[in-house]
Structure 1
Amino acid sequence: MAYQFDFQAVLEHWPLLLQGVLVTLQITAVSTVLGIILGSICAGLRTSHVRWARAVVTVYVEIIRNTPLLIQAYFLIFGLASMGVRMPFILGATIALTVNVGAYTTEIVRAGIQSIKRGQIEAAECLGLSRFQTYLHVIIRPALERVYPALTSQYVLLMLFSSIVSAVGVDELFGMANRIQSATFRNFEIFVVIGVIYVLLAALVRLFFWGLGQLMFPRRSKLGTPL
């Protein structure tokens, strides 16, 4: 019996797909901004001379990197709820994605910080820059510039990994696809459609980071260094 393809039945539910795309972009954008902030702070602490701060960040990074994102999301949403701490599903999912990507950002940024030569820091101190100015202009900014391609890839993966939070009740793109599949019973068609959408979203995220890189690190484009 030949299978009859019917993409029209799926595309008729485009408002749900659009809503799912918007939710996916929303949680990705918030998690990206918070993840960069969290990762940069933790990377600074992990490369500092404060032993207890290095130990705390190391434990955080190792726990997050060695446990599945789904378990982290379940813990934040359902685990804490069992102890009386309740939060909206989308908030819990955003926190889970932020905490997860923050750990990976920490390691990426740490590699960038460790690539900064000691002589550059000493030169900044000789010029009278404060600790904050030295960290901002001599350490963290050049470090982010060097690891920017790796960060871009990590945050594209973050957008793709957001599909996992559909398992905890968030109606992002994959969650909406499951609802459409349940209504139409068109498994093949719906997953082809959202596969194409995810490819387009990944391209969009990469394009955004490319443009952001052109603004933040103009020297890379002048040197012909890929972003």
Structure 2
Amino acid sequence: MNIDLTKINNIKGFLDNEEAGLLYRLALEASKSAPCLEIGSYCGKSAVFLGTACKENRTVLFSIDHHTGSEEQQPGQEYFDPDLLDKETGRIDTLRLFRKTIDDFDLGDAVIPVIGRSEVIGRAWNTPLGLIFIDGSHAYESVLNDYRIWDGHVLPGGYLVFHDIFPDPSQGGQAPYLVYQEAVSSGLYDVQPLFKSVGVLKRKACPLNNR
């Protein structure tokens, strides 16, 4: 894995480095057959790991985010960061730092920013994917929409990956976990071992089911 971890630690983000390493390994396998996609880019930490793997296989990572911050990142909320506030508009804008991250790691041809709401983009999407990483808004309805709109694009043998999966409610919010459980119950995926807060599902060998 040719990633400078000293530079990684300078990127704003909530993804654990060991979890990020898992994303790299999954994407390195998955991107041999198709591009990968993430929902929720923030400042680009996960995109570096996923995108580096895709670059090694001469394919791309599509990175979806509206870049105006999630609910808990707005002014006055728990995860508000004044460095991300556009003083002209008074709104959160993470796109500038995301682009800087991608440039810093020379991933301009491997990471394709897709700016917008994931549910809108998903309804117009046609490209099969080797891996989808769901880490956007953690509001239940948003996670559910991301799963239901996008999971049909995962190729057989590909991965559907969720971040912030906490079976114990005392450790974190339950929305991603509840949606992860719905995906498990669908019977379309083989459940891989939970790694920290990353839930990994591998699509069974069945026809692509676009919804």
Q: Tell me which interval the TM-score lies in, with the shorter structure as reference length.
A: under 0.3
Which of the pair is proportionally richer in helix?
A: 1
Normalising by structure 2, what TM-score? 0.26
Normalising by structure 1, what TM-score? 0.25
Larger radius of gyration: 1
Name the structure, 1 or 2, with higher relative contact order (CA <8 Å, separation 6+).
1
